[in-house]
Amino acid sequence: MSDRPRWMTIFHPAVTWPLILIVGYLFLVAILNLLAAYNNFVTQSSFVMVFGNLISVLLYALPAYGLTKLKPWARFLELALSILSVISGIFLMLQGMLGMGVLTIVPHGLIAIYLLSDTCRKLFTVKPDIQ
C-alpha cells in the first residue's frame, strides 16, 4: 500500500509541491474562465467573448493536465505562455493599469522562474519508472 494520499494519485509520483501549486493555479484560472464563458453565454454577450474564454480554458487546463503527468510538452507550453503573460503584464503596466499588470506578472513570472529552474528541468528529463 502506498503512503501517498488518494488524491495525489492524479499526479506523477515525482511531482514536487511547487509544481502542484502551479497546477492548482492553472486549473483555478481555467475554471474561472469557464465560468466567465458560461456567464457571457447566458447574458448573450458576443460569440467572440465566449469563444475567447473557451480558448483561455484550453490554454490553462491543457498544460496543467500535462504538468500533472510530467509531460515535457506541457512544461514548454506553459513556459511560453508564462513568458507571453509577463510581456502582456508589462504592456498593461505601461498603459497605466498597474494593478492588473502586477497581478499578471507576479504569478506568471514565478511560474516561469520555477519551470526554468534546475530542479524542474531535471524533473522533466529524468522520470522514474513508477507510474
Predicted pLDDT at 6: 67
In angstroms, rounded to a whole number, what is the distance separating the alpha carbons of residues 22 and 8? 15
Its pTM stands at: 0.84
User: Hey, where are the domains in the chain?
Assistant: 16-124
Residue 8 has pLDDT above 70, yes or no: no
Band of the pLDDT at 1, cuts 50, 70, 90?
A: very low
Ranges of beta strands (E only) in 72-117 are: none
pLDDT tens-digit map of 21-80: 999 999 999 999 999 999 999 998 888 999 999 999 999 999 999 999 999 999 999 999
